[in-house]
Amino acid sequence: MSENGNLKDVVVRIGGEGGEGVMSAGEILTYSAARSAYRIFTFRTFPAEIKGGLAMYQFRVSPYDIFSMGDKLNILMAFNQEAFDNYSSALAEDGVLFYDPAECKPSDNFTKKKYEVPLRELAMASGTHLAKNMVATGFLTAILGIPVEESEKQIIDKFKRKGEKLLQQNLTAFRSGIEYAQKYLDELERFRLGKPEGKDKRIILSGNQAIGFGAIAAGCKVAVGYPITPASPILEFLARHLPKFGGKVIQNEDEISALATCIGASFAGAKVITPTSGPGLALMTELITYASMAELPVVIVDVQRAGPSTGMPSKTEQTDLYHVVFGGPGEAPRIVIAPAHVSDCFYQTVRAFNLAEEYQMPVIILSDQVLAYQTEAIPKPDIESVKIINRLEPDYESLNSYLRYKITESGLAPIAVPGHPGFEYIAPGLEHNERGAPNYTPKVHTEMQKKRFRKLEVLAEKLENENDDYYEVMGAEILIIAWGSTYGAVREAIKKAEMNGIKVSHYHPRILNPLPKRKIKNIIGSYDKVIVVEQNYNGQFANILRTFVDYNPIKLNNYGGIPFTSEEIYNKIIEVAR
Amino acid sequence: MSETIEKIKQAKLEYKSDVKPTWCPGCGDYGVLASFIRALGELKIPTHKLSIVSGIGCSSRFPHFVRGYNLHTVHGRALPVALGVKIANPELEVFVIGGDGDGFAIGGGHIPHIARRNPDIVYIILDNAIYGLTKGQVSPTSTLTMTTTTTPYGALEPPLNPIMLLLAYGASFVARGFSSNTKQLTQLIVEATKHKGFAAIQVISPCPTFNMEITFDFVRERVVEIPPEHDPTNKLKAFELAMVQDKIYTGIFYREERPTFEGNLDKIVSKFDGNIDELLKKERLEKLFDQFA
């Protein structure tokens, strides 16, 4: 709570029958709030059936920075009985229920505060029962104190193409919702949001969309994929928008060919991306090692989902780490990056392209189902600040004979782009000499393995001196190490612990391979207790740390398919602090 | 005559790399390599505009022996790799060269999709009806009952018919050659390269080491050129010729003109005037961001 007794942030869930406009109500509210500089996280589930079934839209809104979806609901807006039955238990102790008395009767044992909102009746009065979601939108706009004119603008944008009559009916419904809310305003003052910090207009993106934007900003020219939950929206986003930036997008016949086409295009000089999930990644694995061997830049996105095998495609997990770091025939260097939140998805994707170009190897972006679908109001990315790196090409005027795989100190040699006379070369999957010709001698294989891995060492050495991923708290005795989408829950758990007098530092590496080993040893060495938080059974990153930096941390794991709550992490902090 | 010999010499000088073929003496693939180099000479394709892509197998070593911007990739994936090369730089002359196992077994799933997309790529399949690199296992074009190291009691599967497959999948140019008839094969490669679209040539290229059934003599006895009156735009007739089993027809079975895949992709980009400079790119990106507010 802030000084005036208002909540610092509000978690709202709207639930109803699929087709009742639950999603549009949520979208109008969140986009209006984002345009007015509020911070937003959203989460939604669609009914399993194409039509009908229970749908919900949840958002957390705050004038201040927030990092996650939040744990418990402050407000539940139930359009029907099913929404009440399924969601009322998610309400916080002091949470409130808004319900349509025509559609829903809260059970007798429901003891939290409840308020009637006659959605259907007010919608009918505005001319159509279909507008009950607009009544709810108006009602919540008033309760939360979201600027009315922004919500109206959203409604006008949404309905202007559907005719004047429908637009007016919806606006009337919206206004009647605001009107109806007046009688509760005093009693529900605590839900009114304060003025947002800062004035920056925010845009609402999902992690998948932010990755798509990152690819465009980085100069991606070819994207190839195969549909798979939860990665398909990246390919869909690029299919729609990449051609506007000179890019070509193909849905291929499988994931193997998707990566194959990317590799061919990269050889021909294009920046490339292929989005997939675990099962698709498994099919790509042989070609990942080919790209590593032939030293071609490619960016692969693995939007992790719960496995093994088909597992739970719409649930989340962080279980492909071993696969992306170690998987494949032979030992093939590759870079692994895990973005931590939606805005990070944009910047880490640009970085992935840059690293692929600079180090001439596959870069795998590890996202997951939660990060993929979660939307967040983020400051518009600063395109001017985005640095683009292109592959090192040879001096085409040079008369020296070109050695594509020349053994150098950094392991790097220039890549010739096809079309330049005198620089023809072959990109081989076979072990090869400096020219690319097959060679199986122990000397050449040893030297070439060293050369390829040296590139990773060069990068690791650079990472030793970067400190962006380390959130150090002076006087802390506990360190949490986490990666990927657990970032928000960890940040909020640490905030909560701090309010209760426990200081906790946080290390959240974005690059998971290679690792800056000395830096990690130094960080770990400053703490009594180190907890590694991750969503898998084995503690994959914890075990990697054990292997590479010889440290055995406390593990906090969750593998049910649902993301960590900050509560779970906070409880572990308390337990460890004792 | 001497002029022809001079041209062949010139082509060898220009296109042959200094990596020597690893094929067995007497392998049909030598004839295909010779024909390929002659065709390149005739087409005057500069080596820096040439890209040969292969998978794995004896014949897939091909790109090591010819100068160009080449890729020797993994087993069965040469076609989708080549597609990437072509769409990223349509100015390159892209060839895919590989065997019957690489193309019709492990890589079989890619042929229908490359064929219906119709990129301007030439696919040369060196068909010896056996796995040579792994020393003599059964292949998708081995004959029924053929004894190999993995079918010691005889192959149980009838061979598939590559020409029928290519026709059915929608390849816009389908031909067959024989490695010993280098004159005809050279011309088939020239025609396939000139064809705007996906052009596939099945080349019967016997393996003297591991295939004791489909030998040079066996092929020579059966090989017949497609009669000159055949109309290569008639797909039904092409199917009829492909179904003939007692003869091995060589020549062009089928050809049709269709828009290319890379051309269609470029059309989408042009529709949005997508080839833009950095400044305009930033402007467009800003506008796109604003659509999400």
User: What pLDDT is attached to residue A51?
Assistant: 53
CA separation (Å) from B244 to B144, B233, B238, B241, B256? 16, 18, 10, 6, 22
What digits encode the pLDDT tens for the residues B34-74?
A: 999 999 999 999 999 999 999 999 999 999 999 999 999 99
Determine whether the interchain pair B281/A245 forms a contact, defined as Cβ–Cβ distance below 8 Å: yes
Answer whether B80 sits within 8 Å of A256, measured CB to CB: yes
- Which of B51, B53, B269 has the CB atom closest to A246's CB atom? B269
Gap between the Cα atoms of A281 and A301, Å rounded: 9
Confidence of residue B28 (pLDDT cuts 50, 70, 90): very high
Position A280, amino acid: G
HEC string of chain B equals CHHHHHHHHHHHHHHECCCCCCCCCCCCHHHHHHHHHHHHHHHCCCHHHEEEEECCCCHHHHHHHECCCEEECCCCCHHHHHHHHHHHCCCCEEEEEEEHHHHHHHCHHHHHHHHHHCCCEEEEEEECCCECCCCCECCCCCCCCCCCCCCCCCCCCCCCCHHHHHHHHCCCEEEEEECCCHHHHHHHHHHHHHCCCCEEEEEECCCCCCCCCCCHHHHHHHEEECCCCCCCCCHHHHHHHHHCCCCEEEEEEEECCCCCHHHHHHHHHHHCCCCCCHHHHHHHHHHHHHCCC
Task: Classify domain B15-258 by CATH number.
Answer: 3.40.50.970
Strand B121-127 and strand B199-204: pairing? parallel
Contacts of B49 in chain A (CB under 8 A): 418-419
Yes or no, beta carbons of A270 and B81 under 8 Å apart: no
DSSP run (H or E) holding A20: none
Band (pLDDT 50/70/90 cuts) for residue B184 is very high
Q: What is the pLDDT of residues B85-103, one digit of tens each?
A: 999 999 999 999 999 999 9
Of A244, A290, A380, the CB nearest to B274: A244
CA distance B167 to chain A (A): 19
Nearest-Cα distance to chain A for B214, in Å, is: 30
Chain B hits for A244, CB-CB cut-off 8 Å, are: 272, 274, 284, 288
A2 pLDDT band, cuts 50/70/90, is very low
How many CB atoms within 10 Å of residue A42?
Answer: 23
Lookup result for tokens 């396939």: B192
Q: Are residues B69 and A424, on separate chains, in Cβ contact within 8 Å?
A: yes
Interface of A with B in 420-439 (CB under 8 A): 420-430, 437-438
> How far does the CA of residue B213 sit from the closest CA of chain A (Å)?
31
In this complex, is the C-beta atom of A416 within 8 Å of any C-beta atom belonging to chain B?
yes
Assigned token pair, B102: 């690489």
Which residue from A222, A254, A286 is facing B109, i.e. has the nearest CB?
A254
CA dist A576 and A578 (Å) reads 5
pTM: 0.95
For residue A346, the chain B residue with the least C-alpha distance is B289
Predicted confidence at residue A427, as pLDDT, reads: 98
| Nearest-CB residue to B84 (from A204, A262, A419) | A262
Q: Which residues contact B228 (CB under 8 A, 6 or more apart)?
A: none
Q: Is A385 exposed, middle or buried (0-12, 13-18, 19+ CB in 10 A)?
A: exposed
pLDDT single digits (tens) A166-188: 999 999 999 999 999 999 999 99
pLDDT, one tens digit per residue, over A417-456 is 999 999 999 999 999 999 999 999 999 999 999 999 999 9
pLDDT per residue as tens digits for the range A278-300: 999 999 999 999 999 999 999 99
Closest partner residue to B293 (CB to CB) among A203, A422, A438 is: A203
Output the 3-class SS for A207-253.
HHHHHHHHHHHHCCCEEEECCCCCCHHHHHHHHHHHHHHCCEEEECC
Question: What pLDDT does residue A46 have?
Answer: 65
Chain A residues whose CB is inside 8 A of the B97 CB are none
SS (HEC) of A368-415: EHHHHHCEEEEECCCHHHCCCCCCCCCCCCCCCCCCCCCCCCCCCCCC
Q: Using CA coordinates, name the residue in chain A closest to B74.
A: A429
Note whether B286 contacts A272, CB cutoff 8 Å.
no
Determine the residue type at B133: L
> Taking CB atoms and an 8 Å cutoff, what residues of chain B touch A252?
80, 113
Q: Are A146 and A162 in contact (CB under 8 A)?
A: no
Of B19, B69, B271, the CB nearest to A418: B69
Please name every residue paired with A60 in a beta bridge, in sequence order, or none if there are none.
Answer: A11, A41
Average pLDDT of every residue of chain A: 94
Q: In the numeric block, which tokens belong to residue A548?
A: 């590479």
A positions 445-504 inside 8 Å of B (CB): none
What are the boundaries of each domain within chain B?
Answer: 15-258
**Closest alpha carbon to A303 in A324, A331, A287:** A324
How many CB atoms within 10 Å of residue A400? 8
- C-beta atoms of A265 and B268 within 8 A: no
Q: How confident is the model at residue A1 (pLDDT cuts 50, 70, 90)?
A: very low
Measured between CB atoms, which of B51, B53, B292 is closest to A205?
A: B292
Query: Cβ distance A215 to A383 under 8 Å?
Result: no
Rounded to whole angstroms, the Cα distance separating B87 from B64 reads: 23
